[in-house]
């Protein structure tokens, strides 16, 4: 077994871009990557290198969830360092390739899509309320100013989306994957639009419709428990925030076809989602796929543009917001740690540690730049139709 330990040592010695202290189950410690490490990785149980290489992120995530390893210092810094280090064992997906290919081949039928969404979003509204901002917005915020609170930045994101669309009161808007409905409510109340939102989450559906009723917006807003493939009618505007990551690789063409079909002849769409600027991973992470977002797939930028082009949608604007999502996740994580002990009590320690790892790892992934978040402004008619001549208008209604 000594040779396997030596293989593990060699792999960990090349795993990070920053100095890291590793303490093995035998009590022996090594410092890799330089001097004065700020992160201490403790391996509390014997680890077989063969098990690691099959699915590294899943192996280490489960080991962390079960307290078989401990990390003293920033998990975000550790994971970002591994992402930046070429050929790091912690981010090498070669051993997981066959499983990834099987995951990408999933049909994502209506029943499966509903099950996947409900597994994540129907944990309970009370869980998300504890660490999201009061708007209950679970997507990348927009920090137009450095000193913005998370709530202010989420409201700025929504206003910026609706401003980019150059919305006209009285027209119709479809929100595909509406979450807890803040965009639907603002679009109806503040922009005078007739809004339809759709979600597959029972919790979200109940929550948003209750809010619509409380605010007296029933004549202008409604949210349906509906698959994105089953919407009826045409709309002047289509918005979809954080949705296409859930449809699966095989269904991306269907998703963009539906965006096209739901738009009126001169309609506009604002599509906001996680992408990769360049393909550095397979688009599926084994830890995320098993525990967080089953069925999820992160396409790269060229892939998204290809589907937009195939549907003959015109691109008016593309804006990357990687750093905004990193900051959003860092705030979520800080909020989450305030209720960590309560989460341990309610959901168990493995669950609580899993969510901490998830939030920090995602922040690390954006920090390292292997994933990004993009906003695509699209028109069904000729590019720029119905829009001002310059981009200046996009930022006039944020504050």
150-197 pLDDT per residue, tens: 999 999 999 999 999 999 999 999 999 999 999 999 999 999 999 999
Tell me the whole-structure pTM to 2 decimals. Answer: 0.91
CB 223 within 8 A of CB 181: yes
Whether 181 and 207 have beta carbons less than 8 Å apart is answered as yes
230: tokens are 């089953």
Phi/psi for 212 (5° steps) reads: -60, -45
Question: Which DSSP helix (H) or strand (E) runs through 274?
Answer: strand 263-275
- Asked whether the beta carbons of 84 and 47 are under 8 A apart, the reply is no
pLDDT in tens, 344-357: 999 999 999 999 99
Band the pLDDT of 51: cuts 50, 70, 90. Answer: confident
CATH among 3.10.50, 2.40.50, 3.10.110, 3.30.1050 for 2-92 = 3.30.1050
Identify the pLDDT of residue 115: 59
In whole angstroms, what is the distance from residue 257 CA to residue 383 CA? 18
DSSP 29: E
The residues that are catalytic are 362
- Where does the pLDDT of residue 117 fall: very low under 50, low under 70, confident under 90, or very high at 90 and above? low
**Is-same-fold flag (2-92; 108-395)?**
no
**Neighbour-count burial of 314, counting CB atoms closer than 10 A to its CB (0-12 exposed, 13-18 middle, 19+ buried):** middle
pLDDT tens-digit readout, 242-283? 999 989 888 999 999 999 999 999 999 999 999 988 766 678
Query: Which phi and psi angles does 390 have, rounded to 5°?
Result: -120, 170
Mean pLDDT estimate for the chain? 90
Whether 90 shows a pLDDT value over 60: the answer reads: yes
pLDDT of residue 50: 84
Q: How many helices (H) and strands (E) does the chain have?
A: 16, 11
Dihedral pair phi/psi, residue 16, rounded to 5°: -130, 150
Chain-centre distance for alpha carbon 21: 31
pLDDT of 69 higher than 70: yes
Split at pLDDT 50, 70, 90, the class of 286 is confident
What is the distance between the alpha carbons of residues 350 and 347, in angstroms, rounded to a whole number? 8
Domain spans of the chain? 2-92, 108-395
Per-residue pLDDT at 49:
86
% residues pLDDT > 70 (the chain): 90
Mean pLDDT of 217-226: 96
Q: Looking at the domain that runs over 108-395, which CATH code has it been given? A: 3.40.50.150
Cα–Cα distances in angstroms (integers) from residue 346 to residues 13, 64, 115, 245, 343, in the given order: 38, 19, 23, 29, 5
Check whether 107 has a pLDDT greater than 80. no
pLDDT at residue number 6: 85
Tell whether the model's pLDDT for residue 94 goes beyond 80.
no
pLDDT at site 46: 93
């Amino acid at each position: 077994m000594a040779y396997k330990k030596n293989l593990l040592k060699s792999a960990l010695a090349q795993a990070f871009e920053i100095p890291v202290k590793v303490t093995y189950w035998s009590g022996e410690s090594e410092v890799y990557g330089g001097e004065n490490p700020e992160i201490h990785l403790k391996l509390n149980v014997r680890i077989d290198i063969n098990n690691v290489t099959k699915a590294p992120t899943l192996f280490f995530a489960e080991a962390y969830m079960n307290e078989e390893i401990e990390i003293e210092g920033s998990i975000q810094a550790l994971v970002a360092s591994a992402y930046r280090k070429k050929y790091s064992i912690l981010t090498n997906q070669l051993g997981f390739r066959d499983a990834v290919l099987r995951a990408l081949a999933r049909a994502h039928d209506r029943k499966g899509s509903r099950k996947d969404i409900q597994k994540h979003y129907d944990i309970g509204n009370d869980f998300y309320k504890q660490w999201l901002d009061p708007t209950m917005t679970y997507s990348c915020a927009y920090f137009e100013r450095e000193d913005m609170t998370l709530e202010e930045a989420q409201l700025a994101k929504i206003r910026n989306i609706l401003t980019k669309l150059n919305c006209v009161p009285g027209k119709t808007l479809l929100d595909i994957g509406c979450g807890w409905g803040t965009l639907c409510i603002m679009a109806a109340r503040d922009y005078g639009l007739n809004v339809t939102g759709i979600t597959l989450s029972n919790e979200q559906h109940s929550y948003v419709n209750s809010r619509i009723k409380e605010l007296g917006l029933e004549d202008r807003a409604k949210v349906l428990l509906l698959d994105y493939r089953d919407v009826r009618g045409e709309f002047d505007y289509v918005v979809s925030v954080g949705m296409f990551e859930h449809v699966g690789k095989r269904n991306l063409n269907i998703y963009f076809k539906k965006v096209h079909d739901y738009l009126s002849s001169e309609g506009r769409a604002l599509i906001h989602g996680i992408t990769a600027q360049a393909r550095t991973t397979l688009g599926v992470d084994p830890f995320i796929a098993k525990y967080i977002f089953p069925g999820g797939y992160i396409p790269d930028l060229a892939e998204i543009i290809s589907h937009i082009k195939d549907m003959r949608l015109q691109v008016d604007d593309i804006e990357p917001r990687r750093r905004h999502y990193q900051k959003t996740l860092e705030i979520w994580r800080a909020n989450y740690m305030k209720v960590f002990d309560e989460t341990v009590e309610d959901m168990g320690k493995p669950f609580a540690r899993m969510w901490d790892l998830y939030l920090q790892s995602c922040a690390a992934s954006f920090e390292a730049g292997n994933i990004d978040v993009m906003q695509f402004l699209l028109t069904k008619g000729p590019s720029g139709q119905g829009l001002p001549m310059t981009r200046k208008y996009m930022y006039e209604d944020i504050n």
